[in-house]
Amino acid sequence: MTEKFQPVKGTRDFLPEEKILRQSILDVLRKAFEEFGFSPLETPAIETWEIATKKGSSDSTTDVYREIYRFKDQGERELTLRYELTFPLARVIAANPQIPKPFKRYQIGKVWRDGPVKTGRYREFWQCDVDTVGSASLTADAEILAMYTKIFKELGLKVVIKINTIKFLDNVLSYAGVPPEKRNAILISLDKLEKIGLEEVVKDAKERGISENEIREVYKIIKDIDPENPDIDNDGIKEGLEDITELSRLAISMGAKNIYFVPTLTRGLTYYTGPIFEVFLKSGALSSSLAGGGRWDNMISDFMGSKEKVPATGTSFGLDTIYDAMLLEGKLEKQKTVTDVFVIPIKTKEYCLGVVRELRELGINADMDIMDRSISKNLSYANSLGIPYCIIVGHEELMKKVVKLRDMKSGEERLISLAVLKNEIKYPKRGKKPKKTK
């Protein structure tokens, strides 16, 4: 009977005990974004098909293109649900060229893709993006890696940061004699090397029209390459590796840790132009990346129809995958409510309305019985939600101008005045903070 009330495949309901935890993750992200100097931006969930598929955003050769939700409004206009937050930012910059540079923004919002569903991957999900527009310096890219380290340490997750650069990949392909028209196909196959191994990559590449000789030649070049001492006679490859070395050095100076150069790492082949990076659980308990991004220096100029490049770099944090990762790693303790204190009136409702008001003015999340239940039923209700404290007010308490404070964990009860209440209880501000790693 309940199946017909389930959400659409690939989407989820989040009851308070889950939403509180997700909100606690967002609080950590938002705080870090602003500490690093990024300001908030909001854009519509609906975009035009033309903008969503504009050169540099996505094209018909990508999986993302095929996963875009597309529809028409009553005016027969071709529209889409946004599938990421990067191309809306490019549109905003193109529409507002007067914005001072560098423009550092963050945006947190839902996106939609009609793709396969699995653990850590959904059709409606949240992205939490930060981007720096207007700077070509590797310092802007390095800052993102430092932010990864800070955020995931705060969330209590042990992660590895994998980096590469498009400059390196493109020059490797050219050096190996791979024709430009096969670039994307061979890189998509190569990106799977860590997960499926060389022989399976060779099979995958063949299915994409790549010869076994081509894929093995590329692998031969990259398998043992050392970014700091490359033994190869190719200036383009060396320049790409120099960028990797400099990026790592800058990021470490800003506090980044666990950075690894992965020569097969590939992402955003239609728009990334420089360094690319992804974050994964160190334990490998979840295969999906927790965050990823890179440099995208062409998209905004494409939107503007300008030959002058507008450099940009950024990253996206996946709230859903981070949430799933924290559950898998046992880093979240579920909480059913944000209420700190529950007030139980015993024929003192009007007075208790004032008590609740005073509690809220003190910054305490307070709620009150509105069901006219007995004390025992109210205590049972508060206990079922895990509310830390109850306040009971009867005629005796009213006459003495005190309240009875009950610690729901210990069962201890005390008579105290509202004036000292704030100092007598210990309460969380908003949900329980994720545990930190040692």
Asked whether residue 433 is domain-assigned, the answer is no
Report pLDDT for 57: 56
Asked whether residue 315 falls in the same domain as residue 367, the answer is no
Residue 394 forms part of a structural domain: yes
Higher pLDDT, 423 or 308: 308
Q: Based on the domain organization, do 159 and 18 belong to the same domain?
A: yes
Q: Which of 328, 355, 383 is the last residue of a domain?
A: 328
Quote the CA–CA distance of 192 and 198 in Å, as a whole number: 9
Picking from 284, 304, 328, the residue at the C-terminal end of a domain is 328
**DSSP assigned state of 181:** G
Specify the pLDDT at position 56: 52
Helix 183-190 vs helix 212-222: crossing angle, to nearest 10:
60
Same structural domain, 351 and 324: no
pLDDT at 195: 87
Q: Measured between alpha carbons, how far is 1 from 45 in angstroms, rounded to an integer? A: 33
Task: Please count the structural domains in the chain.
Answer: 2
Give one word for 372, left, alpha or beta, with left for phi > 0 and alpha for psi -120 to 50.
left
Cα distances from 181 to residues 175, 294, 322, 409, 430, in angstroms, run: 15, 23, 36, 66, 52
How far apart, in whole angstroms, are the C-alpha atoms of residue 192 and residue 184? 13
Nearest C-alpha neighbor of 225 from the set 237, 210, 213, 214: 237
Residue pLDDT, tens place only, 167-186: 999 999 999 999 999 998 99
Per cent of the chain over pLDDT 90 is 68
Among 109, 142, 150, 140, CA closest to 26: 109
Structure tokens given for 438: 């040692």
Same domain, 31 and 173: yes
> Mean pLDDT throughout 113-136?
90
285 & 384 share domain? no
Per-residue pLDDT of 5-54, as tens digits, reads: 999 999 999 999 999 999 999 999 999 999 999 999 999 999 999 999 88
Beta bridge partners of 259: 161
Mean pLDDT, to the nearest integer, of 163-170?
96
Written as six digits, the tokens of 244 are 């990797």
Same domain flag for 294 and 368: no
Residue 292 buriedness (CB in 10 A; 0-12 / 13-18 / 19+): buried
pLDDT on residue 113: 94
Domain span at residue 388? 341-424
pLDDT digits (tens, 9 = 90+) for 376-422: 999 999 999 999 999 999 999 999 889 999 999 999 999 998 778 77
Size of the chain, expressed as the number of residues it contains: 438
pLDDT of residue 434: 38
Pairing verdict, β 78-81 and 46-48: antiparallel
Which pLDDT tens digit goes with each residue over 244-303?
Answer: 999 999 999 999 999 999 999 999 887 899 999 999 999 988 888 999 999 999 888 887
